[in-house]
Amino acid sequence: MNTSDEISDNMVEARGPGDLVIILDRSVCIGAADCVALAPVGFAVDASGKVRFVNPDAESGSRIWAAARRCPTDAILLEDRSGTSLYP
Ligand code: SF4
């Protein structure tokens, strides 16, 4: 399990590969699991039907990006390590 930080009740953040920082907004996640299909090393859906981190820093950057772009609710936000928003 990768170390992640809880930002608020429904927001968690973890380091991804390279310069990526990944934020999961669990309040808007609908459990569609597209992200899990595209980046299974990085993400899973928990028992409550919400996305959670697995090992995001071991997932490839291209898979993380694909998962963020595919998420139907933009629940996966990407930043660089200086805090600049990259996606959406
Ligand atoms: S693709 Fe988006 S809505 Fe679906 S489980 Fe992943 S984060 Fe949640």
CATH number of the domain within which 37 lies: 3.30.70.20
- Residue 11 burial by Cβ neighbours in a 10 Å radius (0-12, 13-18, 19+): middle
Q: Looking at the chain, how many residues does it have?
A: 88
Whole-number pLDDT of residue 22: 98
**pTM of the full structure:** 0.93
Cα(77)–Cα(84) distance, integer angstroms: 11
- Cα of 49 to ligand 1 centre, how many Å? 9
Domain count, the chain: 1
The protein residue with its alpha carbon nearest to ligand 1, atom 4, reads 32
Domain coverage including residue 82 = 4-87
Cα(62)–Cα(11) distance, integer angstroms: 22
pLDDT in tens, 19-50: 999 999 999 999 999 999 999 999 999 999 99
**Contact predicate 41/68, CB 8 Å:** no
**Contact predicate 37/45, CB 8 Å:** no
